[in-house]
A and B are shown apart, each in its own frame.
Chain A
Amino acid sequence: TQLLEQSPQFLSIQEGENLTVYCNSSSVFSSLQWYRQEPGEGPVLLVTVVTGGEVKKLKRLTFQFGDARKDSSLHITAAQPGDTGLYLCAGVPSGTYKYIFGTGTRLKVLA
């Protein structure tokens, strides 16, 4: 059972457009991490969100943790080709000790 659902699975947009990627669960998470993975490389940790309602910004990327700590979103403003990659959310559902990854959103930004 996949406890972390990401949407959309695939996204192809033009340079300059804005986009939002979602990470949803029926479970509560004490924290959530977002990673970006480029082809042929390992995931790179972008951010950790801990508090319900928390918003973190990383240049053009804005990460939000849901108030109930069951979901998170990643918003990219004015996407650039360098943003292309696989975006993964991950965390430990409450009541478990298992750190799980979502299946990812594959983003392609066209120049």
Chain B
Amino acid sequence: DAMVIQNPRYQVTQFGKPVTLSCSQTLNHNVMYWYQQKSSQAPKLLFHYYDKDFNNEADTPDNFQSRRPNTSFCFLDIRSPGLGDAAMYLCATSTSMGKGETQYFGPGTRLLVL
């Protein structure tokens, strides 16, 4: 089945230790998104790629970076995680960004910072 896959599902890291989260998709969608969701909060868009074009949200901390080496894969790098970065990180994809486009989410990676 076509799907969005995230690895790992759970990640424990130490304060300040870089961490990379992975997302892959078999949907062949052009757009890939990274969201951060904290408990009882709305998913917050960090950035997205439309093909190779990278779009960073204005309030995304510099600590967060992303790479998309090809259509199928997208990575979220957190350079120096702080305690406040503990959250669920959600990857989503869509065919495009038009009015009718829906986003499909992966299962998420829960990040714990010690």
Does chain A bind chain B?
A: no
Give the A-binding residues of B (Cβ under 8 A).
none
